[in-house]
Amino acid sequence: MRSEKKYLIEEVSRHLKKSDYLLITNYQKVTVADVAALRTKLAPEQAEFHVVKNSSLRVAAKAAGLPEFESMLSGQTAIIVGGRNASGAAKIVKKFFDDTKKLDIKGGVVGGKVFNPAEVVRLSELPPIEVLRAQFLSLLNTPATSLVRVLNGVPQSLVNVLQAKVRAAA
């Protein structure tokens, strides 16, 4: 294998190791200024936008043990990787597409599962990770709160009856 090709594959492999997700896009209509703006928007999510060769991505993905997504590797390909918030990165990419109509979402790989473009859009509609964590903790807390209310109901009812008895006697 030529050293240039080996270097490109190693570079893509380093990018793939940065996160648990990979968003795949077609950047054909995107200008350099658009890429700079997108990279700035992705920075708060610690996500990165990289233009890659399809053949290099194919080899690096296979070496990384990612599922097969050959159908997404046509045309000009760019990937978004990095950070821990796939939903946040997908949200930014979708908004960029809606605003500019330039970046086409080909799909992605999240948590070892291949996502088609519609699933990436649904991923972008999820609330931020902090909100999901708060909702999850609320769900865990609800049964305990309900149990405490039920257990507190019997003594509270007894206290109410005794107070009513005291008022009636007075």
Residues 73 and 96 in one domain: yes
The count of structural domains within the chain is 2
9-67 pLDDT, tens digit per residue, is: 888 888 888 888 899 998 888 889 999 999 999 999 899 999 999 899 989 988 888 88
75-104 pLDDT, tens digit per residue, is: 888 999 987 888 888 999 898 888 888 788
Q: Please identify which residue in the block is written with the tokens 């149990």.
A: 147
- Cα 167 → chain centroid: 61
Residues 111 and 44 in one domain: yes
CA–CA separation, 9 and 12 (whole Å): 5
Q: Which residues of 141-154 are buried (b: 16+ CB within 10 A; e: fewer)?
A: eeeeeeeeeeeeee
131-168 pLDDT, tens digit per residue, is: 878 888 887 777 767 766 777 777 777 777 778 878 88
Residues 72 and 119 in one domain: yes
Residues 71 and 104 in one domain: yes
Residues 61 and 90 in one domain: yes
- CATH code, domain with 73: 3.30.70.1730
* In-domain check, residue 74: yes
CA–CA separation, 97 and 102 (whole Å): 6
Q: Looking at the predicted structure, is the pLDDT value of residue 121 above 80? A: yes
CB neighbour class for 90 (10 Å; exposed up to 12, middle 13-18, buried from 19): buried
Residue 160: which domain range? 139-170
